[in-house]
Amino acid sequence: MKSVILCADDYALNPSVSHGIVALAEAGRLSATSVMVLSPRWAQDAVLLTPLRGRIDVGLHLDWTSEFALADGHGAPLGALMRRSWWPGLKPTQVSAEVQRQLDRFEQHWGAPPDHVDGHQHVQQFPGLRQALISILAQRYPSGCRPYLRVSRPVARQGGLKGRVIAAMGAAALQRLAKAQGLAVAPFLSGIDDFQSDLAGYAHSMAGWLTEAPEGCLIMCHPAQAAEPDDEIGQARVREWTYLSSPAFVAALRQAGVQLVRGQKVLAPSL
């Protein structure tokens, strides 16, 4: 059996996302989730995760591009943030302060450091953000108690153009920085999707992701029990939740020889 991390992103985005993720985790269909701590729901939704402490990884979904980040004043639309990260426009002191603030908010309601850190729309590896993040994690947490990092580098032949753009925004650089500081990483990412397929299409994609996933790969997903009116990928979230809740997903895991595991259990620090 190969060990794979299945992480549900966007926890606390809305009630349907949070309740859907908790239900899947309770059923053993997930091994990690990533939290949007800027959401006003985080305080109350943290309570829902408490019975799952130690059973799944609970991490920070570093956020610079959501409606919450925009409302807070530091955020920007994805395209604008990509441009600002490549050309001078992100001030290091402001970036560091915001990373610290989001870690503080995570710990305030969870009562412990995050098990891992990734980023909404993969911002954790953008230039200007990755340097601050790595430095802060290395300084803030003692060796042996540090979160692992998601490196958004698609598995070979996966992700298409979207995957190549994601990787080009700093996957290799993030991994190098993590290695230099002795931080553990999930080195490959799967689950890159356009959110356009039907239920059968998502099932087919997941079967391929599971089969092709190398040991220690992280597969991301975005499930929800219902589609909220203001969620542009709401219907896709429901399809994901429906499939991950089904016996067909259990069969796909068995067919691919995959066991879902916490990254904290299988990812060693980079040396």
Domains contained in the chain, CATH given? 2-266 (3.20.20.370)
Element (H, E) at 162: helix 160-168
* Residue 80 pLDDT: 87
Q: Is 238 left (phi over 0), alpha (psi -120 to 50) or beta?
A: alpha
**Counting runs of H as helices and runs of E as strands, what totals does the chain give?**
12, 9
* The predicted structure's pLDDT at residue 156: 67
Q: What's residue 169's pLDDT?
A: 77
Q: What pLDDT is recorded for position 267? A: 86
Length of the chain: 271
Bridge partners (DSSP) of residue 258 are 2
Query: Cα(102)–Cα(99) distance, rounded to whole angstroms?
Result: 5
Distance, in Å, from the CA atom of 156 to the CA atom of 14, rounded to the nearest integer, reads: 33
Query: Residue 75 has what pLDDT?
Result: 86
pLDDT score, position 37: 98
Q: Rounded distance, CA 229 to CA 233, Å?
A: 10
Which residues neighbour 270 within 8 Å (Cβ) at sequence distance 6 or greater?
A: 175, 178, 179, 181, 182, 183, 184, 185
Mean pLDDT by runs of 10 across the 271 residues of the chain is: 96 98 98 98 98 97 95 89 80 94 98 96 91 96 91 74 74 90 91 90 96 94 95 94 98 98 82 39
Structure tokens given for 164: 């190549």
Supply the pLDDT for residue 163.
65
Exposure on the CB side of residue 136, measured as CA atoms within 13 A:
23
Q: What is the pTM of this model?
A: 0.94
Residue 79: its pLDDT value, please?
85
